Structure 1
Amino acid sequence: MSSLPMLMRSWWILALRGAIAVLFGLFALATPGVTLLSLIAVFAVYALLAGAVAIAGALRNRRGAADWWLLLLMGLVSVGAGVLAARHPALTVLALLIVIGVNAIVTGVLDLALAVRLRKVIGGEWLLILSAATAIVFGLLILAYPGAGALVLVWLIGAYALLTGLLYLALAYRAYSFAAPRPAAQGGAAPEAAPKAERRVAERRMKPAAC
C-alpha cells in the first residue's frame, strides 16, 4: 500500500500539523516584540507536538503502508530538534537558529519524497511541494543569515510557520474529501442491490406456474 492511502486514512495528521503550525505562526506574527530566545522556546513546543503527531500517525499506519517510515523519520527529526532546543537553553541563539534551519530543510526534503508518491492518486501534490519548497527556502535563509536582526527573524519564522500550516490544512481537507465515502448515484441501484434483484427474477422464472 502506498504512502497516499496512509495519508488519506490519517488526514488528521496533516490537519493537526497544520493547526499547530498556524498557531505558532500567529503567535510569532502577533507578538513581534517577543525576544528571539522566547520564540525559540515556543518553537521547541511546536516541534515536539508536530513530531509527536507524525510519529503517532506513522506507527498507527505502519502495517501495509510501504512509506510509513518517511512520516516516522519526519517526526523523529522534529522531536529531536524540539528536545535539543528545550533541554539546552544555554545554547547560543545562533546554534538554536541553525537547529531550526536544519530541521526545516530536512522536513522539506521528506515532504518532497511524500509528494512524489502523492501525485498519482489525488493530484494534490503541489500543495505538499509548495510546503516543502517553503520549508527548504526558509531553512536556507536561516542558515545563510543567522545574524539578521531579531525582528526580521521573528517575522520570517512566523510567516514560514503560518504559510506551511495553511498548506497542510488545505492538503488535509483535500485528502479527507478524497477518502470520504461517496453516496450511490441517484436513481441507480446500490452495488449489491442489482445482483440480488437479478437473482430474484431468475428464481421466479424457474418456479412452475400454478395450475
Structure 2
Amino acid sequence: MMGNVGDYLTGAWRNMWWDMLLRGAIAIIFGLIVFFWPGLSIATFVLLFGSFVFVDGILLLLQAVTVKDGRWWVRLLQGLLSIAAAVAVFIWPGLTALMFLYIIAFYLIFAGMLQIFAAIEMRKAIKGELLLIAGGILSVIIGALMFARPLTGALALAQTIGIFAIAYGILLAILALKLRGAGHKVAAAT
C-alpha cells in the first residue's frame, strides 16, 4: 500500500497542490467580496458567481488532464459542470432570481456530490480527505437549503454563498498544504 501512496504522491498531485491552493484562495476572495459588499445588486452577484465557477471549472479541467490517476473523469465532470453553470449565468443574466437560485443550487449539490466521491477515492492515497468530504457535504447542504427555501432574499442568498465560499476555500487551502507536506515527506523517504 505504501508503494501506491508514494507513487500517487510523487506523481502529479504532489506538484499540483498549488492548484488546489489557488482554488481555495479564489473561493475565499469571492466569498469575502460577496459577503462584505454592501448593496450588492443581483446583476453584480450573477457576474461574480459566474466568474468564480468559470475559473474554478478551468482549474478542475487542468487537474483532470494533468493528474494521472483513475479519478480524472470526476474532476473533468465537475469542471464541465462549473463551466456550464458559468455559461448559463452569462448567457442568460436576465433570468429571474428564482431560476438563478436553482442553477446555483443544482451546481452546489452536484459539485458537492462529485467532490465527496473524489475524496472517498482519495482516502486511499492521503490523509486529509475528510476536509474535501466536509467541503462537499457543505456544498450539498447549502444547495439543498436553496432548493428548500427558494424565496429567501437575494441579500441572504449572497451572504449564505459568501460564507460557504469562505469556508470551502479554507478547507481547500488546508488540504492543499497537506498535499504539499505529504509530497515532501514521500520525496524525502524515497
Q: Taking structure 2 as the reference length, what is the TM-score of the superposition?
A: 0.89
Could you say which structure has the larger radius of gyration? 1
- 8 Å CA contact 1:32, 1:154 repeated in 2: no
Q: Which deviations, in whole Å up to 9, do the C-alpha atoms of 1:107-128 show, x marking residues without a partner?
A: 1101111111122332211101
Deviation of 1:165 (Å): 0.6
Aligned residues: 182
Give the aligned partner of residue 17 of structure 1: 23
What is the alpha-carbon distance in structure 1 between the residues aligned to residue 157 and residue 94 of structure 2?
19
Measured in 2, the distance between the counterparts of 1:109 and 1:7 equals 21
Q: Which residue of 1 aligns with 2:77?
A: 73
User: TM-score normalised to the size of structure 1?
Assistant: 0.80
Instruction: Determine the structure 2 residue equivalent to 1:176.
Output: 180
Identity among equivalent positions (%) equals 32
Q: Which position in structure 2 is the counterpart of 1:50? A: 56
* Pick aligned residue for 1:32 from 30, 33, 38: 38
Give 1:156 deviation, angstroms.
0.4
- Superposition RMSD in Å: 1.9
Deviation at 1:97, TM superposition (A): 1.1
Superposed CA offset, 1:144-199 (max 9, x none) = 11210122111101001111011000000000110125547xxxxxx8xxxxxxxx
1:115 aligns with 2:131: no
5+ long unaligned stretches in structure 2: none
Aligned residue number for residue 146 of structure 1: 150
CA distance in 1, matches of 2:70, 2:125: 15
2:46–2:93 Cα contact (<8 Å) kept: no
Give the Cα–Cα distance (whole angstroms) in 2 for the partners of residues 50 and 98 of structure 1: 19
Of structures 1 and 2, the one with the larger relative CO (CA 8 A, separation 6+) is 2
- Larger helix fraction of residues: 2
Point out the more displaced range, 161-170 or 120-129: 120-129
- SS in structure 2 at match of 1:134: helix
Aligned to 1:98: 102
